Every structure is written in C-alpha cells, then in structure tokens.
Homo-oligomer: A and B are copies of this chain.
Amino acid sequence: MTFGLARRDVRPKVPLRHGEGDKHRLTSLEGLAALSLDALSSVAYGPEAIVLVLVAAGTGALTATLPITLVIAALLAVLVVSYGQVIAVHPDGGGAYAVAKKDLGARTSLLAAASLVVDYVLTVAVSLAAGAAALASAFPALSSHLLAVCLIGLVLLTAVNLWGIAESARVLMLPTVLFIVSILGIVVIGLLRSHPAAMVGSAQPVHATEALGVLLILKAFSAGCSALTGVEAIANGVPTFREPRVKRAQRTELMLGALLGLMLVGLAVLIRRDHVAPRGGVTVLAQLTAGSYGTGWAYYATNIVVTLVLLFAANTSFGGLPVLMSLLARDHRLPHLFGLRAERPVYRYGVLALALLSAALLIAVGANTQKLIPLFAIGVFIGFSISQIGLVRHWAVQRPPGWLRRAVVNGTGALLTTLACLVLLTTKFLEGAWVVVVAVPLLMLMFARIQRYYTAVGAELELGKIPPLPLRTAKSLVIVPIGDVSKLAQHALTAALALGDEVVAVAVHADPDKAQALRETWDRWNPGVRLDILDSPHRSLVEPIVEYVQHAGSGGRQIAVLIPEVEPKHRRYEILQNQRGILLATVLRARTDVVVCMLPYRLSL
C-alpha cells in the first residue's frame, strides 16, 4: 500500500518543488499506474488465498470460491464508494493516520500509524513472495529456491532505493497496461474456450480435514480480502493529482474498483468452471494463465509481467514509509531526524530498516505468501476500518445533506472490514497473527513514549515562551590543543584569535625531552599566545586536556576548545588522520559544557 505521495515526491534527487507546475502531477490514468499497482497486483494472491482455505474441506468445497468472491467484490464496491468520500473530505491525502488524527483522537491515530508501519513491511514481503511464486510458475527450476529469489529481489529493490533512482508514473504505465490486458485476457479467452488449453504443475492429493461450515467460509472470505489491499492508496495520494484533483482521484478510484472487481469475479468464474485446485509448483493464477493462453510464449510473458508488477508493488513501500515516518516525526512520534526525509542519510536509514524487517519476515515464513497474508490483511483492514469509522464520525458531526445515507455506507464498510479483521485475528492467531498483536501495541507504545519525551523536553526548553535575552557581556577563552609548531598550529591560532578574547595553546607530552624541545621551538616562533604543556604519564592525550579544560573554570567566560583537524583529500587516508581530534571532541562533549570547535585544514593528498 502506498501512503500519501507518489514515489518521485520523496526522492531527494529530483523532488517536486513546492507549487511547481501541474505538468508533473498525475492525470487519472497516470494515477492508476502510480497508485494502483499494489491493489491490482493483489489478484496474484487473493483468489489463491480463498482456494487454499476452501480446499481443506475437499475439492467440492471449491465451488464456494465464486460466491465468496462476489461478497468480496461487494465489499470492494463499498470501499470504493467510501474512499470516494474520503477523497472529497480529505483532499490533502494522508490516509488513515490523517483521518484518525482529525476525527478519532490521538490513540486511534497511533493505532493507524502502527498498523501502517506493519503494512509497509508486509507489502514488501507479500509482493516479493508472490512475485517469486509467479516467476517459479514459469521457470520450475526456481521453485525450490523461492526464498533466494525473494531475497535477490529485495537486494535489488534496496539498491535501487539507496541509489535513489527516480521513477515516474510514465515508467509504470507500460507494465500496468500489460498486466491489466493480460489478466482480462485470461478471463475473456478462458470464458470463450470450452476447456482449459493446458494444465501446468503437478496434481496434489486432497485430504478433506474440515467440513465446509460457517467458520471455514468466514476464513476463506477473510483470506480473500487480501485481494483488496491497496485500494486506499489513491485516497492517500490525492495531492499528487492534477487539478481538479478530487475529481481525478475519484475517477481513478472508480477505475481501480471496476478493474479489480472485474478481474476478481472473472478469475473466480474460471476457477469454478475449470475446477481449479491447488497444484504443486504453480500458482492458481498461473494455472488460469495456462488454461487460457496455453503454455507457449504468452504463458511465460504473463508470468513475467505479473512478477514485474509485484516487484513494483513492493517498491511502493520504499516510497511510502519515509513519508509516513516524516509525518510521525513532525507529530513528535518518531525521532525528529525522520522529519528530514529529504536528507539522503535519513532516507537511507528508512530504506535499510524496511529492507531488514522484510527480509526477516520472508526468512521466518520461508517466502510462503499464504503465511504472510493474514498478517498483511489484518494491518490493512485496521486502516480500512479506521478510515471509515472516521468518516461515520465526520458525517455525524457535520451532517451535510444525505449524511445518513453516507454514514450507513461507511458504517457497513467499517463493519465488514472490522469483521474480516477479527476473523483473521482469531483464526490465524497461532499461525502468525500474534505477530501483529504484539507489534502494533509495541509500536503504539513507542510512539506515545517518544511523544511524551518531546513534550517534556519542550517544557524544559520553554518552547512557546519568550526566553530571557542572551547575554552580551561574556568574554571568551579559546583553548587550542596543538601537537607541534607547524602550519596547522598557525592556521588554528589564527582562527582562535579571531574567535576568542583570550587564546591559549595546550600540548600534551609524556616525554620531558620532547616537551622541552617543543617549548624552545614555541619560544622561537613566539606567536604571542601562551603555551601550556601538560604532562601525561599514562600516554593519554585526552585525559590531561579534559582536566585542563575542566580546571580552566569559566569565571563568566565562554570557554571553547578549538581542535584543528587535518583533512586528507582522499577518503582512504581518513583513518590516518583526525582520529585523535574526534576522540577528544567526543570526550569533551560528553564530559564538559564547553563549545567544541572543529577547524578543517585540507591537505593536498
């Protein structure tokens, strides 16, 4: 699921300038490519999730796939209408977190934020796992190396994102169109054929272990709801559309709903007619592909397109998570650092954290898509429920014309998504859903504690109050640690004399002879600055200087230590220089309250 903004908006290299012309913004069709890949690609694992649950009651139970899919399609319709309203009410985007913050209070917004973080990680993991399965359907040799394929894909995505290659909606147009055409082609050609063109994969024995009861149907429904993940992305990204952006975004949402609904129902009809059951080594979608296109080039091409689109879907998280983190940082719920997502190092932390968490998940489940789906769906459905409950609240408070009808639509949606969420939580608790139950509250707690800390710091710094005026009378003493009489010392003293009312040089020498030699050279140089030579019996450089600085007292003076640093031109020499200065600076900053100044002296080598 994407959050907030399209990819290119978060890339440090080619960011959109504030108020920059509309031409870089998205049309309705481009919006479909940029913001719907995650949702559309869900057809690669959603229908399969239903089939895999139902088969527990034997192949006969698979006939329930179609009615369950129709219910899911109805829920999709409710969600599309609902998100059309979210778009109108929140034209600034922001998703469940923004809605909850505005309409449902702090605690719910923490829940929304936590579930969104979980979702970003799971989007990456699920999309990669499903992509690996799609690729292995075309190339069976890969099927025993699914985890390796996933991790290679993850490394690829991480590298691309660390590099920061900008990706435009136009790049995504071609795979999106190919994907839609391929899937709809499967449905149309499949319906025209009297029987499947080809079978792929190996038949698997089916042992019915459960009866087709209400619980199993509820489980299949909940698992199938994973096909709906991602439909919220358009509402989150309204600001990236061209004007009239609300209209365009609503149109894109409608297109997404129609396409996704058509695909899901069409695939379900084929599944029922052709009695598709799970087969070894291939996905359900690959079976349907072979059934319509045969096993020629079109089979390979379709599987590759599906893989590619799933890879792009995984990539949306790398754009979305930094945006969410910067929103949370601005609300003091994450380290302020993450508010600086335009800074490359900060952006990279986010990318790496996301990659590591996804890798951990993929390894934990052995790249099995179906094991990740309950976790994924729970997170997404918490967001769905929050958004819709927020809207119900909004209608109840604002009461615009027709508010009751709208509230009923959103309320129904909220009820269904909450139900799906609860079913998944209870039926899949021991099979992995507990991870969400543990992770979400922990994240909420962390956000809350960070916020409490920042509030306390703000109070201590008296933010929002006018502080006393700064003093203008203080004199300053600048202490300059030096090693030898050299151009470096001259450079440092020049800077120190400009900054300080009084300047003193200090040197540390363990060897009395060397100390004497330095004293003599200093006197010959006679720079007009006092030199104090400190004894260091233990060969420590840092300790004598720290003690000297501590004893220099302040006497109302501002004390600064100016550390000259030789900066090699080539990075490979960095280990040879500066380390002493950095060590001294670190200890001084930890143990004294003086100003620590670093002055670079650039070498030519």
Contact = CB atoms under 8 A, between A and B. Distances in A.
Nearest to A19: B537
Nearest to A566: B457
A438 interface: no
B335 A576 contact: yes
A214 interface: no
Contacts of A598: 585, 589, 595-597
A457 B484 CA distance: 13
A245 to B, nearest CB: 19
A310 B22 CA distance: 75
Interface stretch (A387-395, A426-434, A469-477): A469-477
A601 to B, nearest CB: 8
Interface string A575-605: 1110110010100010001011111111111
B597 A596 contact: yes
A583 B540 contact: no
B487 A525 contact: no
Interface in A480-521: 484-491, 493-501, 510, 521
B469 A336 contact: no
Interface stretch (A195-203, A403-411, A557-565): A557-565
A575 to B, nearest CB: 5
A193 interface: no
A595 B605 contact: no
A23 interface: no
A167 interface: no
Range of interface residues on A (Cβ < 8 Å): 35 or more
Given A485-B467, A494-B474, A589-B598, A335 B542 contact: no
A79 B360 CA distance: 58
Contacts of A547: none
A192 interface: no
Nearest to A570: B453
B600 A597 contact: no
A244 interface: no
Contacts of A583: 337, 340, 343, 345-346
Nearest to A599: B595
Contacts of A501: 498
A463 interface: yes
Which among A15, A467, A501 has the greatest number of chain B C-beta atoms within 10 A? A467
A510 B496 CA distance: 35
A341 interface: yes
Interface string A54-87: 0000000000000000000000000000000000
A604 B460 contact: yes
A105 interface: no
A490 B476 contact: no
A263 B577 CA distance: 49
A3 B553 CA distance: 42
A495 B337 contact: no
A381 to B, nearest CB: 31
Nearest to A496: B470
Given A342-B538, A463-B484, A497 B468 contact: no
B499 A558 contact: yes
A342 B499 contact: no
Contacts of A402: none
Which among A340, A467, A470 has the greatest number of chain B C-beta atoms within 10 A? A470
A551 interface: no
Contacts of A595: 495, 499, 562, 597-599
Contact of A529 (B454, B470, B560): B470
A174 interface: no
Contact of A557 (B346, B486, B498, B500): B498
A600 B558 CA distance: 13
Contacts of A593: 600, 602
Interface in A431-454: 450, 453-454
A207 interface: no
A280 to B, nearest CB: 39
A307 interface: no
A12 interface: yes
Contact of A490 (B17, B469, B601): B469
Contacts of A107: none
Contact of A467 (B466, B490, B597): B490
Given A335-B579, A336-B577, 7 more contacts: A337-B575, A337-B579, A460-B604, A474-B494, A474-B495, A585-B598, A596-B598
6 contacts: A19-B537, A337-B583, A343-B583, A453-B605, A467-B487, A470-B494
